Chain A
């Protein structure tokens, strides 16, 4: 085995080339990491949003709340289904919710902001148990009061006691809630009654969220509703429901990996160049090593190791750069709905980035290493 220090020293001597070649990898891996972190971030929010005890009921044919209309009749039918947990008032926990995307003009003319407003009744808080008020209090019925999600508060830059225009009406912020990272954190919540009155949606809901006795019962409950003859609606566990929202990211994920692979091909040509140059500079070294008794295979491995060293450094730097976006928040729109999310760079992404880089190193180093192996010692020392 040719000592690795031989490669390592040479890399140091040619440090500019080494850095530049590694830099090519760094960029590819950084781009890959950011793309994956984007997808992971959205998935994390979506996967984190559902409570396993909950079942979301939507109108037939819908997978999200934006187009869904469920009538009161259906809501009452559902209350009769067994297996629904009872609320503090003794009634089955069926949270009727109206979700509206309101186009709100902001101060400047012609600029609009999309507000995601959810109207619900007090039992909504018994269903969405992970929602907790962190500032102020809940809205009270009969008043134009709202509570806002943590992320909404951050993005809109409003304070407790401030006013938010929804439609023609001004609503007062009386509380701020946290939802343990769920999508609700970018929403505004208010009383169902008040919201449906203002936008003339009485007796019509976007969704019904039902709480099962037990997480294990939730899929059964969903099944029961979906297959009921009396009810025509879609029912999924809340976990499934939100996982579905992340489906749009699948194609982004695929596209990201495909783009990264093509970029990698470009970077691979770069390392091949570097390695060929390194070898042509060192044919004498190779010849001497061969004369000292190193076998062809060992020479080849040695140069492959050198390529791997470069790619490892590049990959590692790339994941570090990629790690820089970790926690950065952005908004992602699916249809009319927008999900605020934070980039997530996790161990999986880092591992993938480094592995990706090493793979590039092997592919790019193979041909030059092969040519190093075939150096004719006598010829090159002549």
Chain B
């Protein structure tokens, strides 16, 4: 065991340049993997974090984006066993005259009194900002990514050039920031301000209901759908989970590309490791033959070669992921010289560090097993007859 360790360590430090280059390659690959993989991971997390079966979403049965008559609110929320409810009025539009697609604000006018209770993902909202919006009619709680994109500060005012309500451009006062994550690209404001500002008291976009359990949820969904079955604006009632899954399905093509990139990254990592290990075993053919002459078994050679790769792979895989995690955390906390706003949408979860180690190890194992097998099969007599 000790021999093995000594040999491995010494072999790794023998060609420091090669070991370093290989490690750097793995570090870079896992860093990219971690950052790219975080996007898919975010989508998955959003779907699972909102996979509540006790929150129901009531929308227009047919048309996207949904629109319903406001009189439905009363009827729907009075249904028995509805524990709590809220509504959404969409108020979308451009945040400046540039009309750039990344400056499109998705405003949601809703009830503030039960904002957190009805919007999971807002738990970390600063209570002070929640108080502030209760006392400030034009107050808005703005998503972090919007704040980033527009370089806004709390306390500032902004006007949205409305697309949903042309000509009814409202001014808002930023009273708080909505943390990154599910709501990071939205802003919330008071529904009374919406009513007053747009004069729209005819329609509502979405009605949310909270129910006790899944079973009552199903009953309520059936009741509500039934209620408007023959009216001109039919509704569809889904659990939040079903709705989130459906919306996530729309990002499929992008996710397919992301997954392909991730796969290519991993294969590339494997190729680089494998190449490096093959080069080093080839250079040590004679040595391995000598080890065999000295009585070391072929399996010892395999273990030696694979372990060398595993050490490099695991350590640098973990390091790469940890670096990406660290940078992402710093980026999120505004501690980097240049904050990369775009990447704040995809924070790297800490779970990627062990995952990076695992992938580094996996790539190392797969990349070294063939060279190791070749090294195992080295024919002592051939090696020596080459030399003599």
Contact = CB atoms under 8 A, between A and B. Distances in A.
In-complex A–B contact (CB below 8 Å): yes
Given A232-B167, A267-B268, A200 B102 contact: no
B278 A16 contact: yes
A273 B261 contact: no
A112 B278 CA distance: 51
A330 B21 CA distance: 38
Nearest to A66: B65
A259 B36 contact: yes
Given A61-B166, A101-B63, A262 B261 contact: no
Interface string B267-278: 111011011101
Interface string A230-253: 001000000000001001100110
A20 B278 contact: yes
Contacts of B269: 266
A336 B65 contact: yes
A62 B166 contact: yes
A103 B63 contact: yes
A30 B264 contact: yes
A38 B254 CA distance: 9
B156 interface: no
A280 B254 CA distance: 44
Interface in A144-200: 167-168, 199-200
A299 B268 CA distance: 30
A20 B271 contact: yes
Given A102-B62, A273-B22, A27 B166 contact: no
A167 B62 CA distance: 6
A259 B62 contact: no
Interface string A23-48: 11001101100110010000000000
B232 interface: yes
B65 A266 contact: no
Contacts of B115: none
A101 B246 CA distance: 15
Contacts of A272: 21
B93 A114 contact: no
B306 interface: no
B292 interface: no
Interface stretch (B26-34, B40-48, B128-136, B350-358): B26-34
Interface residues of B, number: 60
A110 B242 contact: yes
B99 interface: yes
A252 B25 contact: no
Interface in B56-73: 61-65
A102 B64 CA distance: 6
Contacts of B93: 61
Contacts of B18: 273, 276-277
Nearest to B28: A266
A68 interface: yes
Contact of B166 (A60, A100, A277): A60
Question: Chain A interface: which size bin?
Answer: 35 or more
B2 interface: no
Interface string A263-306: 10111011011101100110000000000000000000000000
A270 B269 CA distance: 9
B32 A103 contact: no
A59 interface: yes
Given A17-B279, A67-B163, A262-B31, A269 B272 contact: yes
A251 B271 contact: no
Nearest to A329: B253
Given A262-B32, A263-B32, A274 B25 contact: no
A252 B272 contact: no
A276 B15 CA distance: 10
A206 to B, nearest CB: 12
A35 B257 contact: yes
A270 B271 contact: yes
Nearest to A100: B63
A252 B254 contact: yes
B166 A266 contact: no
B323 interface: no
Given A34-B260, A61-B93, A274-B279, A269 B267 contact: no
A73 interface: no
Contact of A199 (B31, B62, B242, B257): B62
A247 B271 contact: no
Interface string B255-299: 011001100110111011011101100010000000000000000
> Among A27, A101, A269, which residue has the most Cβ atoms of chain B within 10 A?
A269
Interface string A107-145: 000101010000000000000000000000000000000
Contact of A331 (B22, B234, B253, B342): B253
Contacts of A35: 257, 261
A79 B127 CA distance: 54
A200 B67 CA distance: 12
Interface in B340-381: 342
Given A102-B62, A200-B233, A265-B28, A63 B92 contact: no
B250 interface: yes
Interface in B153-178: 161-164, 166-167, 169
Contacts of A103: 61-64, 236
A311 B100 CA distance: 39
B242 A24 contact: no
A21 interface: yes
B101 interface: yes
Given A60-B161, A270-B21, 4 more contacts: A60-B166, A63-B99, A168-B234, A266-B272
18 contacts: A20-B274, A27-B267, A34-B257, A61-B93, A61-B169, A62-B166, A67-B163, A112-B246, A114-B250, A255-B342, A262-B28, A262-B31, A262-B32, A263-B268, A266-B26, A270-B276, A273-B22, A281-B283
Q: Rank and list the top 9 A-B pairs by shortest CB-CB distance, nearest first.
A: A269-B25, A60-B166, A270-B272, A61-B163, A20-B275, A333-B250, A266-B28, A277-B279, A31-B264
Interface of A: 16-17, 20-21, 23-24, 27-28, 30-31, 34-35, 38, 59-63, 66-69, 100-104, 110, 112, 114, 167-168, 199-200, 232, 244, 247-248, 251-252, 255, 259, 262-263, 265-267, 269-270, 272-274, 276-277, 280-281, 330-334, 336, 338
Interface of B: 17-18, 21-22, 24-26, 28-29, 31-32, 36, 61-65, 92-94, 99-102, 161-164, 166-167, 169, 232-234, 236, 242, 246, 250-254, 256-257, 260-261, 264-265, 267-269, 271-272, 274-276, 278-279, 283, 342
